[in-house]
Amino acid sequence: MDDMRPAYVAWLSTVFVGDFDDETLDVDVEEPPVPPGLGQPDSALAALVDFLHIDPDLFTAAAEGSPANTHDSEALRQWARGLSSKQQKRWLLRAIERPELALGREMIVAFLRQNPAPTVPPRTVAQLRARAHEVCELRENEEAELRERDRARRETERTLELQQLRKRWSANWKQLEKLVDQKHYDEATALTMKLRDADEGRRKPDFEQRLASLKRDFGRRRGYWQRVNARL
């Protein structure tokens, strides 16, 4: 059974969506038969879709009309058991005479030919374009929801982190002194910024006083202070 997906993809490349539309294309033209497995592209088909600059949402919309390129294993077994003795013998002899052939694949092709997957009514170019716009809207909404959930997750993590910093306030300042003394300036600067943010939620803010004290003790650590002053 020939793979007709590349031919369908070539036709699909004539269907434009978005800001550019070919006014010479008849939007009432129906699509060709949608081949099985269009929604399961291998690397070669994916490369062709990319090479032809097919809109991803249009491809998704088109693939909705494609049956899965799979088969029911139990149905295949029943089909094989239901073959006549003559047909079973022919398959057996083919396996013996041509051991290099992928006989299982040939049997699946024969099964699918006799038991084709259900097809959907062909869609017009206009319907494909409309569905592509719907797919685009759904995708953008989903992406926006994912971004919002990610923002909320990061905000929660940030709040918990600042709470932990406040609980170990004095210990964190001692850790900062150690980092500055050991010249781990990038790590020290990052901790300083976190302590500044955490200080805003404390009942008795003392970030400025503690930072001034740190400068009295480690004022010569210019690498650290240059980094901090650039971010304060």
Q: What integer pLDDT is reported at residue 96 of this predicted model?
A: 80
pLDDT-based confidence at 62, cuts 50/70/90?
Answer: very high
Between 24 and 84, the higher pLDDT residue: 84
- Give the residue with greater pLDDT, 9 vs 103: 9
Report d(CA 5, CA 35) in Å as an integer. 6
Residue 70 has pLDDT above 70, yes or no: no
Quick one: average pLDDT of 199-219? Answer: 90
Instruction: Reply yes or no on whether the pLDDT at 103 is more than 70.
Output: no
pLDDT of residue 72: 62
| Res. 28 pLDDT band, cuts 50 70 90 | confident
Greater pLDDT, 107 or 48: 48
Higher pLDDT, 19 or 115: 115
**pLDDT tier for residue 85 given thresholds of 50, 70 and 90:** confident
Asked whether the beta carbons of 106 and 92 are under 8 A apart, the reply is: no
Q: What is the pLDDT of residue 19?
A: 45
pLDDT tens, residue by residue, 127-173: 999 999 999 999 999 999 999 999 999 999 999 999 999 999 999 99
Q: Which two tokens stand for residue 119?
A: 């097809």
Q: Can you tell me the distance from the alpha carbon of 183 to that of 194, in angstroms, rounded to the nearest whole number?
A: 18
- The distance from CA 69 to its chain's CA centroid, rounded to whole angstroms, is 22
pLDDT band at residue 192 using 50, 70 and 90 as cut-offs: very high
In this model, does residue 82 exceed pLDDT 90?
no
Query: At CA 195, angle to CA 189 and CA 197, rounded to 5?
Result: 110
Least confident segment among 90-99, 136-145, 197-206: 90-99
Burial code of 221-231, b = ≥16 C-beta within 10 A, e = fewer? beebbebbeee
- Please state the rounded mean pLDDT for residues 56-62: 94
The tokens 């494609």 sit on which residue?
A: 66
Which phi and psi (to 5°) does residue 30 adopt?
-85, 150
Q: What angle do CA 8, 12, 16 make, to 5 degrees?
A: 180
Concatenate the DSSP letters of all residues of 47-104 into one string: HHHHHTT--HHHHHHHHTTS--S---HHHHHHHHHTS-HHHHHHHHHHHHH-TTS-HH
